[in-house]
Structure formats: C-alpha cells, structure tokens
Amino acid sequence: MSSQSEKRERTFTCLLSHPDKYLIKHLQNVAKLVEDTFPINDETLKKFAVYVAQFHDVGKATQFFQHYIRGEKIFSQEKNHSLLSAIILFYFLRYNMDENPLLSFLSYVAVKNHHSFPEDVFEDEGVLTDIDLLKKQLDSLEASIFSEMKVKIDPNSLKINLENVIKDFKPFRSLSRFKKKFGEVKDYFLYIAFLSICSALLFADRKDAVDVPEIKYSDISYLHFKSLIDSIPAKYSIDKLRQKAKDAVLSKVFDPSKRVYSINLPTGLGKTYTGFLYALKMREILKKQIGKNFRIIYALPFVSIIDQNFEIIKEKLQQITDSCDSSLIIKHHHLSEPEYRKDGESLPFDIGKVLTEGWESEIVVTTMVQLFNAIFPKNRSQALRFSRLHNTIVILDEIQTIPLKYWEIFSQIVENLAEVLDFYVLFMTATKPVIFPNCVELAGKEFFKGLNRYKIDVDMEKKTIDEFLSTFKFEEDKTYLFILNTIKSSQEFYKKLKEKVNGEIEYISASITPFERKQRLAKIKEGKVKYLVSTQVVEAGVDIDFDVVVRDFAPFDALNQSAGRCNRNGEKSGAFKIIRLVDEKGKFYWSYIYDSILSSCTYETLECVNNLTEEQFINLTEKYFKLVKDRAVDNVKELALFSEALKYLRFSGKNGKRFIKDMNLIENDYGIEVFVQINENAVNVWNKMIDIVKKLKSGERSSFKDYMRLKPKFYEFVIRVNVDEKSLRFFSEELAFHYIPFRYKDIYYGKTGLKEPNLIW
C-alpha cells in the first residue's frame, strides 16, 4: 500500500502544467474554482462546466509537452494539448458517462478552443483531420494522470475507438446536419450555456495559472455615500432641481423581480451620482433579501468620460472607507494600465492583469464597448468577462450610443441574460430611446417641465461655412461653442472663425492628441476660452458650459447631448442653434458619419419648427423615437440574422453570413492611427516603445508587461484621422505605425491637428 502511494506521488510530481505547477493540482484547482463560481443556477450545466475544467489541460500529460515545459526539447504540433484534452473529455462524457451528446460536444469545443476562440461551431468544429497526430499523442500519454484524477480512462482503448469517436461528430460537421439531428434552435439557451462554460473555465484557468490571492470585497454603505453627496453645497439655482431629482429617484421602491430600470433626466441634472446611489440602494436591498453581494459595473460610452467619472466616484469613496484598493473600485478599458492594488501595494503584473481584465472588484468602471463585447464576444479575452456579469448591477450611461440596428437584439439578449445570470440593468439617458420598452422608470417627465435654460433656433437651410459665418451675429459678452460633424469641416471652420473674431479661441477633435485635449479642456473649465470649435468629442459627459452652442445637423439624441453644453447651470439666458452645413460639393457633412434613418427622422421632427423652448425641444423626443421605430424595417432583418448567429454559435466565418464578430458597437472605426511627437516626452515614449517591441520580437516575453504599462502613455500622443494612407510620409517598420517626427511637427501638424489638405473629410 505504501509502495503504491509513493509511486503515485512520484508520478504526480513528474507532470507539470506550468513551469512551477503540478498538472493534477492545476486541474483540481481550476475545477474547484469553476464549481464555486459557475454563474448559472443549473446543476446539469454546472456538472459539465466542472468536467470541462477537470479535463481542460489533461493533454499536457504527454511526454512531448512534459519535455517542452521543462525546456528539454522543442516539438511543434506534438506538444499541443487543447485538441487532445478535448477528445479525451468527449470520450469520457460519451463512452464512460453516457452524457448528453450535444452538451458533450459543446464541452469538447470549449476545451479545444480554450487557448483560441471558436469560429462557426456547427460548421467547423465537428470536422477533425488531425487523427495521426492524436494517435501519436495518445501513445505518449502518461496514463497515471487518470488515476490521479480518479477517472477510468484507458488511452489504448480511446486510440482503438478513435474512429468511432470521430463518427460521433457527424451531426456537428455542418449546420444542416445539426438541424436534421437536433431540430431548429428556438431560444438562446445554447449561446448562454456555451459561453457560461467557456467563460468560467477561462477565468478560473487564468487565476490559478498566476496564483491569484483571495480577494475580499469591502462593504460600501449606501447611507454614508448618500449623506456625503447630500452634503455637497449648492452653487447654482439648478442645484435645487438636481437635489429634487435625486431624492425622487431614490424614493422609488426597488422590486427585485423587475430586472431593468431607467433614469430619464435632462442633461446636467446629476445622473452620475443619482444613478450610482440607486445602484448602491439596489445592492443593499439584495444583500438583505437574498444574502448575495452584487457588484456594480458602470459602463460609459467614451474613455475620456470613464477617467473623469472614475475619479469622481473614487474621490467620494475615499472619504467614507478606510481603504480604496482595487477590490473596491477599478477602471478597465483598452488603454487602462492593468494595475491592481491590494493592501496599499501593487500586485505583480500578471496577477493584476487577470484581476483587472476579469472585473474582480466591487465597482468596475468600463466602456460600453467592453460591456457589449462581453455579451457578444469575438475573442477569448472578451468571452472571459461573460460570466462576470453574474450577480451584478449594470449601469448603462448614455445608452442611446448603441447603434439602432442592435436595439432589438440587445434588449432581447440582455433581458434573457439578466434572468439567467442574475443581474440587473439601470440605464441612464436624457432621451430614452425605445431599447427597453418594459423598463421601470425611476425619474419621469416631471423634471422636463418648465426647463428654460436655452432657446432653440432651427435653421434647415443649406449653408456653406462661409455663408453661415457671414450672417452669424456675435455678442461681446457671450461664450460660443461650435460643434461640427467632421474633422475637416471643423478645421476649416476654426481657420475662418479665427480670421473673424477676437478673443481666446480653442479647438478640440480626434485630430489632436489626447494629451492636448486634456490640457485644452482644463483651460475651458477654468473659463479662459471664449470660442471653442469642436467635433462630437464634447457631446456626452464632458462637463463644459457655454452661453451659445451652434450644432451642425445630427440625429436628435446627438442634438440633445450638444444642447446640454449650453447654459448648463441655468445661470444665464442660453441659445442653442441647429444648422445644416454642406461641403464644396453640396454634400451635407452629417451624411459622412450618421445613420440615414436617424437623420431623416430628425429632419421630419424638426422641419416644421423654428423656435422652441428647452421643454418643447425635449418633448419632441417622443415624436422622434416613434418615427425611428416605424422606419426601422431593416432592423427586423438584422435582428433575424444576428439572432441566428447567436442561436447557432456563429462567432466568425467567411461564407458571407452574419456572425457575432460583425456586431460592433463602434460601427465605423474610421481613420488611421498616427503617433505625433509633439514634445520631448512623446519622443521618449516613442523610443521606449521601439525598444520594448524589439525585445518582444526577439522572444523576451517578460517585456510584455512593460509594453502594457507604456501603452496608455503611448496613446496619449496618438490621433486617428481619415486620410489617404499614401499622404502619410513616415512609417515605423518596428512598430508598424505611422508617425510624425518632432522635427517635422510644424510642417504636418498644427493647432487643429493633422493639417487640413491631408484629410479626406
């Protein structure tokens, strides 16, 4: 007995999953993590998820992988483990356990792709061509791993039955075969089940691989946070209305049986604090009633607003908590540094990256894009966050930024997911698009009545920039904001305005670096700017205030956001002017970037009006969204196509059909990225990035953490512009990136960014 035990122990210590980790321990740890955190209250699915975790790396028990992990020999395909692990799992589920064939196949797909991501599941994943490789790997497999796992699997038996196992894949070799065997899929069960299993595995696997320590969440008192916000002194007359709106929302009863809530308030009425407070209230009630901790995910449309709102909330939390570590609040977007602080110190990079990307915090401030991609993932890192929606309260700020064609599919899947993954949605908007028609409204129309911060003047006549400026009357005691639709039109407008007026004039758009944008916004907030020319970058969430706002024509919700930059605090008499500018060809600038349905509905909403009060203007929202709903007939087709993609796990492919990869929140990611060496700091960042990338290309993988830490600083000096790539003279082969050298900065780059002749529009 003792001899057998010692033999098993020696076998156990021989097999590694990672350079410093025993394979059997890794499989056991990941299985336990999945069992403890599986997001769906379904014992059958949970059982399959645990099997997936238990077997996901069993293919590492080959001699090929064991030599590789020790650096003794380098094999190519033979050391790969995902397919072998998946085959062993499928064989176990079907031949040992006689489990459900469809769920067994989906478990196989989850393991096979846990280092990649599936494409078209029921078209591609049932096709198997690596039979000789699998037989070779099975011959090399250390069978003792199965006794350690306490499962009865004979590699020789599997090898003999491999042809039969492959035949079991026959119904999964094409969608037509799948439908013939299993029928039409009627709902999103397979989608939710598959992603829940994949996501739980991915997060647990990454956590154990880097030995993530236990994270304990802090408690946040709703009443303490509320009293802190209530104590903020009133500075403006409108602060009384903000307080009234907040009190009205917080007085509304939260019913845990209802999943979707809305706060519909005019711009400038304090939705950030009000929404966050109501989420804290929901969280506290859920803890008392069902005994579960619900985390808060706060999703915003733009990175710049994330940084702003993150600091606002964090600063308040620091006043009511002993510690404001990352377990309490983190921010996550594509440019955020994956730093995670615990007990006042930064955790090692690999651990911080896993925890940040896995949204392991009480409060996660992130982008709408990150949330959208967690629900509709296109790759492994996005899919990891799918299960992290479990037991959360999701705040969607400025929900109208979701493209029209996704409204129906987004509401369908979110409402479905909210029930299954047990989360709640609280969306905030000034316009309330008809995305969740059955939501519970917490604010209401009363706060739109009597608003009179600005008068609206609607001028639908076509005008060039010259024609507009030649008739526009400026007043000495007013400040002005001009919002244009394209970078090229904004640059032209700035140039001509500068010739016409005196006083401090500034410019903001995506054609200037984020570094400069921050500096100029700070200057604007200090009241040092009389005239600002901008694109849509100032529309949502940017806290600036002007007496007169002029907006080139745009969809109604964009107009509403722009109006929110006018006389924000109601201290003066504001003016909001809507105009329609055309370029030298007579083409409307709005047509380059906006959806034609939304734009035509806006035109019909406004074409018969000239002068409006703020209240009258906001009341047109209902008419606008009714027109949108009636016109969006193409959305029915889009809904059917995307619904099909979700139901049949069509993540990507090349056969011309709609795939989940085609569902992108930012539809037109126009332009080319260009790094601008605007100062010595930018030059240093550029040179450091070149050094890091060279090290990465030479195989120095440890430099990846340096790359990730430098990336946010690097993008402080990156612009994205719509140009003919041939017009960009400088290109770095090392970084595969266009750039403007410091010595040529004044030739190609100026106050308004990349100089106008290079732009397409």
Three-state helix/strand/coil letters over 310-339:
HHHHHHHHHHHCCCCCCCCEEEECCCCCCC
Residue 10 falls inside a structural domain: no
Same domain membership, residue 147 and residue 28:
yes
Residues 554 and 496 in one domain: yes
Instruction: Examine the domain organization and report whether 687 and 561 are in the same domain.
Output: no
Dist CA 142 CA 16 (whole Å): 12
The token duo for 411 is: 């509401």
Q: Is 167 a domain residue?
A: yes
What would the pLDDT profile of 581-631 be if each residue is shown by its tens digit? 999 999 999 999 898 889 999 999 999 899 999 999 988 998 998 898 888
In a domain, 664, yes or no: no
Residues 740 and 703 in one domain: yes
Residue 132 neighbours by CB under 8 Å, 6+ apart: none
Last residue of a domain, one of 411, 441, 471: 441
Which residues of the chain carry a pLDDT beneath 50?
1-12
Shared-domain flag, residues 202 and 258: no
- Segment 177-232, tens digit of pLDDT: 999 999 999 999 999 999 999 999 999 999 999 999 988 887 889 999 999 999 98
From residue 598, alpha-carbon distances to 564, 609, 615, 616, 668 in Å are 20, 18, 21, 20, 16
User: Residue 502: exposed, middle, or buried by beta-carbon count in 10 A (0-12, 13-18, 19+)?
Assistant: exposed
Same domain, 352 and 436: yes
User: Would the pTM of this model clear 0.85, i.e. be above it?
Assistant: yes
Q: Is residue 667 part of a domain?
A: no
Q: What is the CATH number of the domain that holds 518?
A: 3.40.50.300
Give tens-digit pLDDT for 307-323.
888 999 999 999 988 78
C-alpha neighbours within 13 Å on the C-beta side of residue 158: 26
Same domain, 379 and 284: yes
Residue 188 lies in a domain: yes
**What was the pLDDT predicted at 12?**
35
| Inside any domain, residue 32 | yes
Query: Sign (positive/negative) of CA torsion 578, 582, 586, 588?
Result: negative
Q: How many domains does the chain have?
A: 4
Q: Are 285 and 431 in the same domain?
A: yes
Residue 129: the pLDDT is: 86
Give residue 449's pLDDT. Answer: 87
Q: Which residues form the domain of 76?
A: 16-210
- 68: in domain: yes
Provide the pLDDT for residue 5.
Answer: 37
Q: Considering the domain boundaries, does residue 146 fall inside one?
A: yes
477-492 core/surface letters (b: 16 or more CB in 10 A; e: else):
eebbbbbbbbbbbbbb
The sign of the CA dihedral 107, 111, 116, 122 is negative
